[in-house]
Amino acid sequence: MPRFVVEADGGSRGNPGPAGYGAVVLDPASGETLAERAEYIGVATNNVAEYKGLIAGLTAARDLASDAEVLVRMDSKLVVEQMSGRWKIKHPDMKPLAAEAARILPRAQVTYEWIPRERNKHADRLANEAMDAGKRGEQWEPSASAAVFAAPSAPSGPPGDAVAGAAAARAALAAARGIAAGPAEADTLFGSPAAGAEEARAAAVPVPSRTPATAPAPGRVPTATAPAGGQGWGPDMGAPATFVLLRHGETALTPQKRFSGSGGSDPELSPAGRRQAAAVAEALAARGTVQTVISSPLLRCRETARAVADRLGLDVTVEQGLREVDFGAWEGLTFAEVQERFPDDLQAWLDSPKAAPTGGGESFAAATRRISATRDRLLAAHAGRTVLLVTHVTPVKILVRLALGAPPESLFRMELSAASLSAVAYYADGNASVRLLNDTAHLR
Residue 60: closest CA among 42, 40, 37, 78: 37
- Is 248 marked active-site? yes
- List the catalytic residue out of 324, 362, 392, 442: 324
* 3-class DSSP assignment, residue 195: helix
Pair 172, 7: CB distance under 8 Å: no
Choosing from 7, 81, 185, 248, which is the catalytic residue? Answer: 248
Q: Parallel, antiparallel, or unpaired: how do β-strands 17-26 and 33-44 relate? A: antiparallel
Spatial contact of 294 and 317, defined as CB atoms under 8 Å apart: yes
For residue 143, give the 3-state DSSP assignment.
Answer: helix
Which residues lie below 8 Å from residue 92, measured CB to CB, with a gap of 6+? none
Question: Which of 160, 135, 147 minimizes the C-alpha distance to 53?
Answer: 147
Residue 21's contacts (CB-CB under 8 Å, 6 or more residues apart) are 8, 9, 10, 11, 37, 38, 39, 41, 49, 50, 52, 53, 56, 126, 127, 130
DSSP notation for 205-257: S-----PPPPPPPTTS-------S--STTS----SPEEEEEEEPPPBTTTTTT
Burial bucket for residue 245 (CB in 10 Å: 0-12, 13-18, 19+):
buried
What letter represents residue 175's amino acid? A
Give the separation between CA 158 and CA 154, rounded to whole angstroms.
8
Separation of alpha carbons 268 and 270, rounded Å: 6
Distance, CA of 414 to CA of 401 (rounded, Å): 9
Active site residues: 248, 324
